[in-house]
Structure 1
Amino acid sequence: MNKYNDYAKKMNCLYAELPEYLTWHKDSKEWEPRKKQEVIGRIFNCHPSDGEKFYLKLLLMHIRKPTSFKDLRTIKGKYFDTFREAAQYLGLMETDSTAEMCIEEAATYLMPAALRQLFATILVYCSPKNPKQLWLKFENFLSQDFEHKKTLNQYAIKHKVLDIIAYHLDSMGKKLQDFFFVDDDIVTRTHDNLFKEIQTERDIIIPTEDLLAIKQLNEEQKVAYDQILHHVNNNIPNAFFIDGPGGTGKTFLYRALLATIYSAGHIALATATSGVAASLLPGGRTSHSRFKIPIGENNSKPCSISKQSALAQLIKSTKLIIWDEATMAKRDIIEKFDEMLRDIMSSNIIFGGKIIVFGGDFRQTLHVILKGTKDDIIDSSIVMSPLWQHLHKLKLKQNMRASLDPHFSSYLLKIGDGIEYTNDKDEIQIPPQANVPFIDDNTTLNTLIDMVFPNINDENLDFSLFVNRAILTTRNDFVHEINDVLINRFPGEETTYFSCDENTYTCTIPDQEELFHSLTPQGLPPHKLTLKLNAPIILLRNINPNEGLCNGTRLLCKGFTPNIIYAEISVGVHAKKTVFTPRITLEAPHDNFSSIPFKRKQFPIRLCYAMTINKAQDQTLDFLGVYLKKLVFSHGQLYVALSRARSIEQLKVLIRPSTPLIQSTDYTKNVVYQEILKATDTH
């Protein structure tokens, strides 16, 4: 059909899509265009035990408009003798040599430092069958930069490389000895220094601007800075909470504190609930990874830190611990943190007598509770914890951006506090200069896209200008819709990666691969991932927090091979750092999104021209579009969405009417839990 039928050529169909557009006539023995378009057509199904027939079908489900069997076996100009080999090359199935191919492809870039990080990532997330064989084959590539310096002998180089790999593994919660690819005596020597974690913190580079920030603090920041340092310098136990809306310089204050403590030769630990917030602080780590706080189903367990461990020694030596975005953490997580510190410090004083600085903005989105009610969310907030009354509150109110746009700052604050004027439907009005009038779905969305990403199809455009621009929306399916539109407009050749999906259900059931391919649960990358050079992407997992690879880290695509994506971190303290990202296996969340649990092996990224509002929290953008196809539905969402912009001139908001009868498109809902805001003042 694809070879001879003009209609089939025009439709550019996959095998599964063909019955939607064509129908078989038994009498004439010919295919003809279908008159009714909304149909479900039957396709041939087969099992992996069917051998080449199964792999043939696998290719037909992913390659558009093939014209022959030879065409199906030719992938990116490379011909394969079997359908199985072609499917493997396309990434549609697992292979025993995937880890080896990853490192081979990455080695061609001649970047040993990034290669060592990749090697550690593959050990942790790809579970290679023979780590020792992998090490022996690529040891020379992993140590090329040390070989060229010729200042170390081979034995010293080997230990140096292993020590760096051990550091990466440790930041991902693993140890070198977990993988059995080097002799025990080498492992022991590599880990002789119990205080390696302490040295790592001492090696953190203090940016010059952070040292200068100490003299640039405003009056409110200076009061907080002096009080906290007084306790640090005099070893007086206390726990503080820095409360302030976006733009009041909480991160600016944290960085000034860290710079002061680091420059005095002391140790401070910078953490945050979210990976994005952590990436804005020197040496920043997510609180969960730094303090071994269990997540998911295991969040009822205590923090797993031995009192004899290097991390425990590091905590004991720490002068100050900063925990940003604590408002996004559940109260039981903070309470477990308190228990852990009391245990390590052998003290019954709150937080073990350590000096802690929590920070956040209760106007922003709070922690997520799956299917949780408003009461559930409020009850699990830190303000409802007995610890809250023991925290010394320091409020920041002076907006550091107020001189640029004081009216916009005041407007945002009223939205965050839930006191902005509302109409008779309890809706607030979007300022006229930011509002994009709604016409119809396609026309108005394209208008918004053109405003946020002007001339995006121009090949001569400086694409770095788009790094800090995005469209925010309320749901993941809307995010995928916008990203698909923008990657098609973006100039350049497409590179497409398909995931390998596998059923994890214990009972014997029919093959569900096509079903899994059609799903994109929250937190998982899409089955079909289409990318182009210089396209912006966002990381969906905490891979290596020490190196800036956190959930929410934004990157730019710089190169593609079948098993590796070469990218550059685009924001934060690790900006411009180059990294290799392999496919890893991710499990679909255990909820009612899918009736059958499954796991997906895919690159843990997705495009980020568009993001959900919750994902964008902690980020400030150069130009911002907000697409409210559906209304906001949780506390602080609208405030977070609008406050990602620096000024009203950098903000465009598109509101889709909830019903055809509604004519006004500049009013929308604002959800604020007043109980939370009142609790911050009354406790």
Structure 2
Amino acid sequence: SQEAAWHLQDFPIQGQSHSVVILSIHLKDGQSIFFKENQAETALRRESAACTTLTAYFDLNVSDLGAHQYLYQDIPNHYVFKNKKWVKRLALSHHKEKAIDISDREDNLVNYTIDRNNLLWNDLNSDQLLAVDAILKSVVDLNSQKCFYIDGPGGSGKTFLYRALIQKVNLIGKKSLIIARAGIAATLLPGSITCHSAFSLPLDLTSVKFPRLTQTKKEFLKSIDLRIWDEAPMAPGTALEIIDLIFQDLMGIKTPFGGKVVVLGGDFRQVLTVIKKESRCAIIASTIKKSSVWPLFLTFKLKRNMRAITDPDFSKWLLDIGDGTIPSPPTPKNQFSVEVPISFISNDILTDIFGNSFTYADVENFSKHSILCPRNEDVRLINERVLINLKNVEQMSFYVIDSVKNDDGAEDHDLQVNIPVEFLNILNPSGLPQYKLNLKIGCIVVLLINLSVNKGLCNGTRMIVRAFRPNVLQLEIIIGSFSGTVHFIPRISLDTSNDPALPFNFVRHQFPVCLKYAMTINKSQGQTFDKVGLYLPEPCFSYGQFYTGCSRATKSNCLKIQVQDTTRRGKWITGKL
């Protein structure tokens, strides 16, 4: 039927036509009154029974002089019939003053937006201004270049450029959309969403198929004039090609990206897309630079490190590491070594970053400090050691509930017999909380899943524990545009269905958080800290990790590096620069 087809196409069901209000018409005392058998006299005595939309209209004109200007048939546009009375429709603003105050508020908001936009525009450097001018021209000129790539090292002002660009585009009446590979990157810019949410892509982007989009999402994507993809080098080239096909299909033309403006941004010096158990050649071959659509992009380079602008020597050192041009001490064949300046070396990374001990009053200061490690096991060790140093606060331990599930999501009793719960408890799959979660009031945690990107609750969001109960945590966000907002997070059941390394699927019921005084280098990409420590018990194993970790700091005196004296220390040589 037509209704079934409408549902299958995911067309909206509600809000498709005008709402209808039935207005009563009757003579004086001629309204209809409904009553149960043998209750006629009781119904007549009820004052509310005699009230209709017409009698209420007459009462309204007695009590509200402003209603005199409206005819009976026009009254529903300005009043709502509620509790047998016409009540004035509420404005979006909660002001109780006259209507003229609402207009003043709107004017002030517009003026603030214009002033804020001019402030951003005036602060753009020459490299940023060159890129923004070209992109703005492409938004209004149908025949100009449509594909751009903003190449900037960590701290070069890519996020600032995006903000200025979006505000300019909005002022000329065009629509823009910012997407990011990771949820945490999406929270750094207001209004951003992940590429998975925007295009209904799977979490694993290495083997992407053409997604099925709802009609609402299709209309939304078609209406966007400018699309910005932040941290694009973290995504594989196949994802970029699929997005190209999506826009061609939406716009009905075979031009690249449907003739829409697409801006990619990122830094190929940092961590690239992660492909498990693949060679270096395979990883490079999977990047967007090897994509069939990459030659269409015009590259703008941001050369100035705005994050470390007050420390030009440190900025140059970072760029030399990222470009691979830093002088390298002699090492065995096929190995790359970095000579770390002696001023960066730390013998006790915990003390240098967080001190010997701290209290609840110090939490705000330490919220912008972090220790970065290449591997998860080192992160867990550092987090527990730092938590011990948080003194004089309430502490509680939370334990998980583990169970084995079959492919249909139901409990598998046969597997549970062969796989004891004690074995499940010692497993620490990536993306799942630990068996025992130790928390203190004022400790810093990170969210492990995307709960609501629109509210800043996504994988990688750092938060402070303000209170806890056995089944709920009160957390305050301390990063990005949602900083300061408080949320209540319950226990959630998380499974390992997307982990091919496990031969079975098990479910862990726990708070979706973990301690985050330390984090992996990959998780830190896109963030900035006041004080950064690199803890390297083993060499960095992935391309760009060392550069990414170092570039999270703003100045040389904000960076400390501790290298463990182990048998695998070989790649890291300390000494004077």
Q: TM-score, normalised by structure 2?
A: 0.75
Find 1:500's aligned residue among 393, 401, 405. Answer: 401
Find 1:453's aligned residue among 348, 354, 361. Answer: 354
Partner of 1:342: 248
Letter in 2 for 1:231: S
- The secondary structure found in structure 2 opposite 1:625 is strand
Q: Deviations over 1:570-610 (max 9, x none)?
A: 11111111112122221226557545431211111111000
Change (3 A) 1:384 1:514: same
Find 1:371's aligned residue among 259, 267, 277. Answer: 277
Letter in 2 for 1:477: E
Q: Deviations over 1:71-128 (max 9, x none)?
A: xxxxxxxxxxxxxxxxxxxxxxxxxxxxxxxxxxxxxxxxxxxxxxxxxxxxxxxxxx
Structure 1 unaligned segments of length 5 or more: list them.
1-150, 161-202, 438-446, 669-683
Change (3 A) 1:347 1:625: same
Change (3 A) 1:500 1:326: same
Find 1:220's aligned residue among 121, 127, 147. Answer: 127
Find 1:475's aligned residue among 363, 372, 375. Answer: 375
Partner of 1:607: 515
- The secondary structure found in structure 1 opposite 2:318 is helix
> What CA distance in whole angstroms lies between the structure 2 residues aligned with 1:295 and 1:239?
25
1:557 aligns with 2:465: yes
> What CA distance in whole angstroms lies between the structure 2 residues aligned with 1:415 and 1:504?
47
Residue 428 of structure 1 deviates from its aligned partner by: 1.1
Residue 547 of structure 1 deviates from its aligned partner by: 1.1
**C-alpha contact (below 8 Å) 1:293/1:299 kept by paired residues:** no
- The secondary structure found in structure 2 opposite 1:615 is helix
Residue 301 of structure 1 deviates from its aligned partner by: 2.2
1:318 aligns with 2:224: yes
1:302 aligns with 2:210: yes
Change (3 A) 1:607 1:211: farther
Change (3 A) 1:662 1:257: closer
Q: Deviations over 1:1-43 (max 9, x none)?
A: xxxxxxxxxxxxxxxxxxxxxxxxxxxxxxxxxxxxxxxxxxx
- The secondary structure found in structure 1 opposite 2:482 is coil
> What CA distance in whole angstroms lies between the structure 2 residues aligned with 1:357 and 1:374?
27
Partner of 2:93: none
Find 2:192's aligned residue among 284, 309, 315. Answer: 284
1:413 aligns with 2:314: no
Structure 2 unaligned segments of length 5 or more: list them.
1-79, 90-109, 407-411
Change (3 A) 1:427 1:569: same
Residue 261 of structure 1 deviates from its aligned partner by: 1.9
Change (3 A) 1:273 1:483: same
1:327 aligns with 2:233: yes
Q: Which moved more, 1:509-518 or 1:560-569?
A: 509-518
**C-alpha contact (below 8 Å) 1:323/1:358 kept by paired residues:** yes
Partner of 1:430: 340
Change (3 A) 1:413 1:605: same
Find 1:489's aligned residue among 389, 396, 399. Answer: 389
> Greater CA radius of gyration, 1 or 2?
2
Find 1:519's aligned residue among 395, 403, 427. Answer: 427
**C-alpha contact (below 8 Å) 1:211/1:259 kept by paired residues:** no
Alignment of 1:45-60 (within 5 A): none
Partner of 2:25: none
Partner of 1:616: 524
> What CA distance in whole angstroms lies between the structure 2 residues aligned with 1:664 and 1:253?
35
Change (3 A) 1:154 1:465: farther
Find 2:490's aligned residue among 582, 590, 599. Answer: 582
Change (3 A) 1:153 1:578: farther
Q: Deviations over 1:486-516 (max 9, x none)?
A: 1122121112211111112555442421111
Residue 216 of structure 1 deviates from its aligned partner by: 0.7
Letter in 1 for 2:296: H
> What CA distance in whole angstroms lies between the structure 1 residues aligned with 2:459 and 2:174?
29
Change (3 A) 1:660 1:645: closer
- The secondary structure found in structure 2 opposite 1:515 is helix
Residue 311 of structure 1 deviates from its aligned partner by: 1.7
Alignment of 1:117-156 (within 5 A): none
Q: Matched residues, percent identical?
A: 37
> What CA distance in whole angstroms lies between the structure 2 residues aligned with 1:303 and 1:455?
52
1:573 aligns with 2:481: yes
Change (3 A) 1:410 1:659: same
1:390 aligns with 2:296: yes
Letter in 2 for 1:504: K
- The secondary structure found in structure 2 opposite 1:573 is helix
Residue 646 of structure 1 deviates from its aligned partner by: 0.5
Letter in 1 for 2:342: P
Residue 235 of structure 1 deviates from its aligned partner by: 3.9
Change (3 A) 1:578 1:537: same
Q: Which moved more, 1:593-602 or 1:224-233?
A: 593-602
Partner of 2:541: 633
Find 1:248's aligned residue among 156, 161, 180. Answer: 156
> What CA distance in whole angstroms lies between the structure 1 residues aligned with 2:438 and 2:83?
43
